[in-house]
């Protein structure tokens, strides 16, 4: 007759993961950034510090309504800030959400 071996804990508990609500928020932001056009827009805004929709359309070769749609999604995700100046909207990177994404990537991938 075989006897059961005692259960031995193999590893020490790991630290707690990020909170579920934070994970959901960051996943949504990564989802928004998973589009090539939105990544290109983010790179342009980051490079310039601030950009008008009218300047971004020519840079990415898309019509203003399409660029505005992508910028709206970036804004809703909290990745860019929007300021209306007369007829045109100007966008700049939102610092905190981007820093959180970078911090998560560095922590996860040792960068």
Say which residues have a Cβ less than 8 Å from residue 78's Cβ, sequence separation at least 6. 29, 94, 96, 97
pLDDT digits (tens, 9 = 90+) for 56-95: 999 999 999 999 999 999 999 889 999 999 998 999 998 7
- Residue 2's SS3 state is coil
Q: What is the pTM of this model?
A: 0.74
The pLDDT score that the predictor gives to residue 19 is: 81
Mean pLDDT of the chain: 85
Q: Quick check: 10 pLDDT over 80? A: no
Contact at 8 Å (CB) between 33 and 39?
Answer: yes
The pLDDT score that the predictor gives to residue 94 is: 87
Average pLDDT over every residue of 31-60 = 92
78: left (phi over 0), alpha (psi -120 to 50) or beta: left
Average pLDDT over every residue of 20-47 = 89
Q: Quick check: 12 pLDDT over 80? A: no
Say which residues have a Cβ less than 8 Å from residue 99's Cβ, sequence separation at least 6. none
Q: Which of 98, 66, 94, 101 is nearest to 80 (CA)?
A: 94
pLDDT band at 1 (very low <50, low <70, confident <90, very high): low
| Percent of the chain surpassing pLDDT 70 | 86
Q: Quick check: 111 pLDDT over 60? A: no
């Amino acid at each position: 007759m075989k006897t059961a071996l005692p259960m031995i804990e193999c590893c020490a508990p790991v630290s707690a993961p990020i909170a579920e609500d934070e994970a959901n928020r960051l996943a949504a932001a990564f989802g928004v950034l998973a589009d090539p056009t939105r990544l290109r827009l983010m790179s342009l805004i980051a490079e310039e510090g601030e950009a008008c929709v009218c300047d971004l359309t020519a840079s990415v070769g898309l019509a203003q309504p399409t660029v505005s749609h992508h910028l709206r999604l970036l804004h809703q995700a909290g990745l860019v800030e929007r300021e209306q100046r007369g007829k045109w909207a100007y966008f700049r990177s939102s610092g905190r959400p981007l820093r959180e994404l970078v911090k998560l990537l560095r922590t996860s991938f040792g960068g």
